[in-house]
Amino acid sequence: MGFGKISVAALLVSVGLNQVALASAQSESKGFVEDTAVNLKLRNFYMNRDNRVSGAAQSYGEEWAQGFIGTMESGFTQGTVGFGIDLIGMLGLKLDTGDGRTGGGTGLLEQDSSGAKDNYSKGGGVFKIRVSDTVLKYGTQLMNVPVLNVSDSRLLPETVDGFSVTSKEFKDLRLDGGHFTSLTNRNQSSRDSGRMTSVDYAGGVYKFTDRLSGSLYYAKTDDYFRKYYVNTNYTLPLSSDQSLKFDFNAYDTKSIGAARSGELDNTIWSLSAAYSVGAHTFMLAHQRVSGDGDYIYGPDGGGNFFFANSVQYSDFNYEDEKSWQARYDLNLAPYGVPGMSFMTRYVKGDDFKNGRGVDIDGKAWERDIEGRYVVQNGAAKNLSFRVRHASYRSSERGGQIDEVRVITEYPLNIL
């Protein structure tokens, strides 16, 4: 671990030590066992993808699987410095696939030379320390920052290994830093199957007012690129049941070192405006990529796309691509069906290049439809059912895809 990485952690922990005289999360700790939480999420996932491009290597993929995601998060020991551990274990079971249907972009199940495996598992642990409102963790983690965000869009989530520091010592400000050296893919059990080099990041989120917040992050992925990320969002209340929300996101990426993702020097940004009135939300968004190369993610986590037009199938992130989105959401609770929601959106992109820097005036569109229901009461409370359909069309790049996902989740609070 380099001097700079140690300095970031030391700085954040020293901030915590200077604040211990004030009320903090650590001063209110009930104990290692008393604050322990054990949870299990059951996730049933069916997915098919129909590739309609003539001559495709695999025209149809279909997989159905059952996942189990168990977590144990201990409390912190009492005292000025608190210690604790977290554990995570995951299991995926094949329910149906085969006969040429496995794979094809579905990505639910781990593969071997014989096809989809009957089961696969992965897991890990975290050692954590808390001083005041500053927490340092080392081990296998599920990260959710804009420059290191694990993907959880299939049966089991990605995991990363390394250390993270989160500090909430100052009101309305959260500071983040970390160093990670390993990424395990969603449908693979071997550690570092994602072949991460190393990722170092620092940044934070500040709430200026109850309506306005912003964030700024920096990250470096060795032998790939460095990234800056900026966000600001603002909510304007119009009445008791009406509001306008504006959200701006941008990444600036430049290749470094061995430049394993190619020569990159680009910016992607999006601006969305959402109008909510009662049970209805209408959103418009615009997104642009400029500079050299596509916006790239993957070696730094498969979920690093905090921008508006990252949707079910496409992220509309090709070189020079410009895209627009229109979206409608409906919450059916005011109509007597609490827990039921509906969403549909349409995204259109154009002007993108072919992946080798050649201008092909590429065009694409995607249409998504989604219905979701969450049980509100009784023994099955929080059981959710979600059906998602996507259609994507581009004759120049990206393919002609129809996709269906059916996801059932049941979170259980064991302790």
- 114-172 pLDDT, tens digit per residue, is 889 999 999 999 999 999 999 999 999 999 999 999 999 999 999 999 999 999 999 99
pLDDT tens, position by position, 345-375? 999 999 999 988 899 999 999 999 999 999 9
pLDDT value at residue 150 = 96
Cβ neighbours around 257 below 10 Å, total: 13
pTM, to two decimals: 0.92
Q: Is the pLDDT of residue 6 over 50?
A: no
Phi-psi region of 118 (alpha: psi -120 to 50; beta: other; left: phi over 0): alpha
339 is written with which tokens?
């827990």
Q: H/E/C letters for each residue in the chain?
A: CCHHHHHHHHHHHHHHHCCCCCCCCCCCCCCCCCCCEEEEEEEEEEEEEEECCCCCCCCEEEEEEEEEEEEEECCCCCCCEEEEEEEEEEEEEEEECCCCCCCCCCCCCCEECCEECCEEEEEEEEEEEEECCEEEEEEEECCEECCEECCCCCCCCCEEEEEEEEECCCCCEEEEEEEEEEEECCCCCCCCCCCCCCEEEEEEEEECCCCEEEEEEEEEECCCEEEEEEEEEEEEEEECCEEEEEEEEEEEEEECCCCCCCCCEEEEEEEEEEEEECCEEEEEEEEEEEEECCCCCECCECCCCCCCCCCCCCCCCCCCCEEEEEEEEEECHHHCCCCEEEEEEEEEEEEEECCCCCEEEEEEEEEEEEEEEECCCCCCCCCEEEEEEEEEEECCCCEEEEEEEEEEEEEEECC
- Residue 348's identity, in one-letter code, is K
Task: Quickly state the pLDDT bin for 28 (edges 50, 70, 90).
Answer: confident
pLDDT tens, position by position, 203-248? 999 999 999 999 999 999 999 999 999 999 999 999 999 999 999 9
C-alpha distances in Å from residue 78, one per residue of 75, 139, 238: 9, 22, 46
Rounded distance, CA 259 to CA 217, Å? 21
Rounded distance, CA 260 to CA 196, Å? 11
What is the rounded average pLDDT for all residues in the chain? Answer: 93
Cβ neighbours around 35 below 10 Å, total: 16
Percent of the chain residues topping a pLDDT of 70: 95
pLDDT value at residue 22 = 59
pLDDT value at residue 21 = 45
For the segment 96-113, the average pLDDT, to the nearest whole number, is 87
Q: Is the pLDDT of residue 15 over 60?
A: no
Domains of the chain: 27-124 (no CATH), 125-413 (2.40.160.10)
128 is written with which tokens?
């954590």
